[in-house]
Amino acid sequence: MAKSRNNLLGVGGQRKKLSAAERQGAGPARDKDRKVAEDRKQELVRKMRERAAAAEAAPAQDAPAQDAPAGS
C-alpha cells in the first residue's frame, strides 16, 4: 500500500516536553521577545518626550518677542 501524503502523524521525530508555562506561551523565547519589545517602547517614549519638550521650548523662546507692545 502506498504511503499517504496527507497523514503526517508521527513524522518529524519526538517533541520536547513542555512545561505548563511554556505551553501557555511563556517560554524563554517569549521572555526575550518581551524584553526587546519593552526596550523599543521605552526608546519610542523617550524620543516622543524629547520632541514634545523641544516643541514646547521653541514657542516659549519666541513668545517674549511676540508679546512686546506694538507701536508704543
One digit per residue, the tens of pLDDT, for the chain of length 72 reads 456 666 666 666 667 777 777 777 766 777 788 889 999 999 999 999 999 999 888 876 665 555 555 555
Grid coordinates given for 52: 514634545
Structural domains of the chain, count: 1
Does residue 57 fall inside a structural domain? yes
User: Quick one: CA dihedral 33, 26, 14, 1, positive or negative?
Assistant: negative
Does residue 58 fall inside a structural domain? yes
Q: In which domain, by residue range, is 36 found?
A: 26-63
Coil vs helix vs strand at 71: coil
Does residue 43 fall inside a structural domain? yes
Does residue 12 fall inside a structural domain? no
Query: pTM, whole model, 2 decimals?
Result: 0.44
CA distance readout (Å), 55 to 19, 22, 43? 50, 45, 18
